[in-house]
Structure 1
């Protein structure tokens, strides 16, 4: 597995911002530059991770046993594997460094795997999922922290193929970014380009359309989901060109 540590990767930048250790100097430099443009980025990253934890607890409460997790970060403390320790979970990421670390973290978890996957071409991942889950296709699917990195063509294709792959009764959790200012796209992509990526903000209405034929159950800001409306100060909120939203849907 080829690893390029000469360029920053958004997953490792995210890991660094969350206080993790699975990153390189190039990722830390990119994070420093991003924080100059979006100083409250660590708070939004924490909200994303807390949303994963909320979803993990909800899925645990209703007895979810099979989970397909798409590029939501390394399964370190406070991830889905902590809330669903007996479940079968297939984690994925495009970054080979994350995959190597993920495999090590899950080495003693026989019901969990971490695999490399490019969600812009989801068929190989779904083939792996078919082998991993077997005939059980009633799944909980996590798309937390990835949907705003995919353009409409790739995101729509992924969501439709997931819908076709999953059995009725499956559930889907998504986080996505919403622009709050005309300059949001320029500012967001200026910061994102430092981690070698583009960002695609969407309105709740656009996300609801994109997620079809999944049926949306709830969609609201992460601070409301998590009941932490005071976590982001009014000054930080006004300085941010975007807001993070969470969406839950079912098959």
Structure 2
């Protein structure tokens, strides 16, 4: 796989602000500039990561056996593989760095696999998923930390095809950002552009419509999910152009 280190990658920027080591100087420079616009970005990144861990714990308690995780990043300590060690998990990411290191991290886990996938063109992902899961299509889908980087058309196509792929009893966990204030989208995209991407804040109502025919069961702020109401100070929260919510939807 070819790794382009001349331009920042949003996944590697995310890895850097979480304290990871699988990033390059170009990613670290981009993160420095992003923090000038969104100084609370590391806190939101941590909340997003902790939401993955909460979901992993809940799925473990529910006896989930099959997981398809989208835009996984690195399956290091505290990822779904830690909470569901016996489950069959298919991880995926567009970033070749994540895929290469992910494959190494999972080398001794025959029940887990990592594939490279562009969620805007998901046919190869579904081919890999069909091979991996076989006839078992009751699946828990991790869609955390990605749809706010995808436009409506690609998001709608992905979740509808995912719904068609899965069967009744499947579940999906998803996080998204909600705009706060008239200039929210402009500020968020000013930061996102530094990582070479674009962001798409959405209201809970817009998100629920976008993920149909999945049925939203619970939707609330990540700080509420995690019982961390004071994780951001009131001043930090008021200054943030967005809130971050998590939802659970059923097939």
* TM category, shorter: over 0.9
**Offset at 1:2?**
1.1
Query: Residue 161 of structure 1 aligns to a residue in which SS?
Result: helix
TM-score when normalising by structure 1: 0.99
The 4+ residue runs of structure 1 with deviation greater than 6 A are: none
**Offset at 1:115?**
0.7
- Name the structure 1 match of 2:180: 180
TM-score when normalising by structure 2: 0.99
- Name the structure 2 match of 1:166: 166
- Output aligned runs, 1:59-98, within 5 Å: 59-98=59-98
**Offset at 1:72?**
3.2
Residue by residue, what CA displacement relative to the aligned partner does 1:72-103 show, whole Å, maximum 9, x if unpaired? 32101100000001111000000111111111
Partners of 2:126 and 2:202 in 1: CA distance: 26
Q: Does 1:136 align with 2:164?
A: no
Q: Does 1:109 align with 2:109?
A: yes
Partners of 1:116 and 1:173 in 2: CA distance: 20
- Output aligned runs, 1:11-30, within 5 Å: 11-30=11-30
Residue by residue, what CA displacement relative to the aligned partner does 1:34-70 show, whole Å, maximum 9, x if unpaired? 0010000000000000000000000000100100000
Q: Does 1:53 align with 2:53?
A: yes
Runs of at least 5 residues in structure 1 that lack an aligned partner in the other structure: none
Query: Residue 189 of structure 1 aligns to a residue in which SS?
Result: helix
Runs of at least 5 residues in structure 2 that lack an aligned partner in the other structure: none
Query: Residue 113 of structure 1 aligns to a residue in which SS?
Result: strand
Query: Residue 91 of structure 1 aligns to a residue in which SS?
Result: strand
Partners of 1:102 and 1:239 in 2: CA distance: 35
Query: Residue 246 of structure 1 aligns to a residue in which SS?
Result: strand
Q: Is the 8 A contact 1:106 1:112 kept in 2?
A: yes
Partners of 2:12 and 2:208 in 1: CA distance: 29
- Output aligned runs, 1:185-224, within 5 Å: 185-224=185-224
Q: Is the 8 A contact 1:72 1:146 kept in 2?
A: no
> Cα RMSD over matched residues?
0.5
Query: Residue 11 of structure 2 aligns to a residue in which SS?
Result: helix
Query: Residue 64 of structure 2 aligns to a residue in which SS?
Result: coil
Residue by residue, what CA displacement relative to the aligned partner does 1:199-218 show, whole Å, maximum 9, x if unpaired? 00000000000010001100
Partners of 2:12 and 2:123 in 1: CA distance: 25
Partners of 2:169 and 2:154 in 1: CA distance: 24
**Offset at 1:123?**
1.2
